[in-house]
Amino acid sequence: MSNQIPIFDSEPETQEQIEEKQRLQMIFTDLEKQQPAFLDEAGKSIIERVATFLAILFGVTAFGSSFPPPYLKANAWNKYLVIATLLCYLAALALGMLAIRPRSYTWHRYQSATMAQMLKKLIAYKKRLVQGASIVFAIGTLILTVLIVSIIWNG
């Protein structure tokens, strides 16, 4: 007796299944086409959010008639929180700006493999920068939250 595995014919796909596959392929093709523009917009969004939160940070540190305010003079911990928040936001701002920075690309019009490789590198580069900016921004926002709670708690 031989150990042959019986071959089963797969069931033919229905028209609905074929259309669903085509629809999914179109969706993912569109996502792939739009990814560089999406990453640029994400970088711009991070820059806008950083600017907003920098305004909040400056508002928190500039309250009162004297600078630095008493809650920063009396509490060294709060000074470090302000500096850490500022550094995180500036790093997120720099990463966001690098993600949307115009640059030249070397590509060969008639070599699709080279163009596909260049697009893959471009998307990976922008994605790393946007993800890094998002993470650093989130850390800065958490530090800012701790700073505000500390000011309220000790104030």
pLDDT tens for each residue of 91-139: 999 999 998 887 776 767 677 777 778 888 888 999 999 999 999 999 9
Whether the per-residue pLDDT at 56 is higher than 70: the answer is: yes
Return the closest-CA partner of residue 91 out of 62, 55, 148, 132.
132
Residue 8 domain-assigned? no
DSSP state of 110: T
> Does residue 25 fall inside a structural domain?
no
CB 123 within 8 A of CB 61: no
Would you place residue 35 in the very low, low, confident or very high pLDDT band (cuts 50, 70, 90)?
Answer: confident
Mean pLDDT of 11-39: 79
Give the pLDDT mean for 61-83.
76
- Which domain range does residue 118 map to? 37-101+110-154
Instruction: Examine the pLDDT at 66 and tell me if it is beyond 80.
Output: no
The whole-angstrom separation of Cα 98 and Cα 89 is 14
In a domain, 21, yes or no: no
Percent of the chain whose predicted confidence (pLDDT) is above 70: 86
ω into 68 cis (within 30 of 0): yes
Cite the beta strand spans of the chain per DSSP E: none
Total domain count, the chain: 1
Taking residues 60-76, report their average pLDDT.
70
Return the CA Rg of the chain.
Answer: 26
* Residue 15 phi, psi (nearest 5): -60, -35
Query: The whole model's pTM is what?
Result: 0.70
Q: Would residue 29 count as lying in a domain?
A: no
The answer to whether position 55 is within a domain reads yes
